[in-house]
Amino acid sequence: MPVEGGSGRSDIIIYVVSDSAGDTGEVVVRAAVAQFHPAYADVRRAPFVQDEGTIERVLIRALSENAVILYTLVIPRLREYMAMRAEEMNVQAVDLLGPLIESLERQTGSKSRQEPGLNHVLDADYFRKVEAVEFAVKYDDAKDPTGILKADIVLVGVSRTSKTPLSMYLAHKTYKVANVPLVPELKLPPELFKLPKSKIVGLTIGTHYLNIIRKERLKALGLPDNASYATTTRIEYELEYAESVMKQLGCVVIDVSHKAVEETASLILETVRG
């Protein structure tokens, strides 16, 4: 069964089932999960589903893991099979596209084309998005600092300020984003000081809020929540260091406390556009 992702402990498991790539479903899932931050969701894709057998295997796994399914199945027989079997097995399954397609068919008086993946027509914009996503993965957490000078946007901030989720979200808007963790014990990449400050965005967060997020992250990893990483003293030290770096860089600083990824991304785009 072609299920992608799925590693580590989580608060909730969500399967995104699609007869295409599953991009639409995953974006919707992550937007919904953001409303329950700092709860963690393990989002697993089952893309390019073409038969009932694959659906059956996903349902069995979802049942055994008490998971939720969100599906974006365009082909009617697959959509109907998912709805029928999910109800019979008492698995929570949400049909994202079906009701809307049916409403549009009634409104327009014509049948849908029933072709998966039409929103991924291979045009220039699609290729730019793919390139931006690959860029975000390659230059995440300053694994390769050469990406800093190639990026449209560079995000800097301490751990758990949503640098990676923001990089991926902005990549889907076709922006090439690199991000750099600010850790007092690590030397900053010299490339960071060669950038125009208009390309750099600093991310900060309230001490109390970060303390909660880091404790939850440690729990999710099966570690004690009293580790140094999550102590108030350590967090304050890191935030003071990050503030000094951002002042050196002269960049815009955004407080991500209590903000969803989409809200922060919107503020970032306002900043870089100008």
The domain spans of the chain are 12-120, 124-273
pLDDT over 70, % of the chain: 91
Work out the pLDDT band at 7, boundaries 50, 70, 90. Answer: very low
Interval 223-244 mean pLDDT: 94
Annotated binding site for ADP: 157-164
DSSP assignments along 160-212, one per residue? TSSHHHHHHHHHTTT--EEEEE--TTSPPPGGGGGS-GGGEEEEE--HHHHHH
* pLDDT value at residue 117: 56
Structure tokens, 165: 């989720």
Give residue 83's pLDDT: 94
- Cα separation, 83 vs 77, in Å, equals 10
What DSSP string describes 196-257? -GGGEEEEE--HHHHHHHHHHHHHHTT--TTSGGG-HHHHHHHHHHHHHHHHHHT-EEEE-T
Q: Are 21 and 117 in contact (CB under 8 A)?
A: yes
C-alpha torsion angle, residues 206, 212, 216, 222 (rounded to 10): 110
Options 3.40.50.2300, 3.30.70.980, 3.90.1170.50, 3.40.47.10; CATH of 12-120: 3.40.50.2300
Neighbours of 264 (CB within 10 A): 22
Q: Which residues contact 68 (CB under 8 A, 6 or more apart)?
A: 12, 13, 14, 15, 62, 92, 93, 94
Q: What is the pLDDT of residues 108-147, one digit of tens each?
A: 887 666 565 555 555 667 788 889 999 999 999 998 999 9
Given a contact cutoff of 8 angstroms between Cβ atoms, the answer to whether 40 and 138 are in contact is no
**pLDDT greater than 80 at residue 59:** yes
pLDDT given at position 46: 92
pLDDT digits (tens, 9 = 90+) for 149-195: 999 999 999 999 999 999 999 999 999 999 999 999 999 999 999 99
Q: What pLDDT sits at residue 236?
A: 97
Q: State phi, psi for 174 to the nearest 5 degrees.
A: 75, 15
Work out the widest C-alpha separation in the chain, in whole angstroms.
Answer: 64
6 phi-psi bin (left φ>0, alpha ψ -120 to 50, beta other): left
Which residues sit in the known binding site? 157-164
0.75 exceeded by pTM = no
Write down the CATH number for the domain with range 124-273: 3.40.50
Residue 98 predicted with pLDDT over 90: no
Q: Contact at 8 Å (CB) between 16 and 70?
A: yes
Does residue 8 register a pLDDT over 60?
no
Share of the chain above pLDDT 90, in %: 64
The burial class, CB within 10 Å (0-12 / 13-18 / 19+), for 161 is buried
pLDDT confidence tier of residue 22, bands split at 50, 70 and 90: confident
The answer on pLDDT for 215 being more than 60 is yes
Q: Is 73:18 a contact under the CB 8 Å cutoff?
A: yes
Residue whose C-alpha is closest to residue 129's, from 155, 152, 154? 152
Nearest to 76 by CA among 45, 104, 98: 98
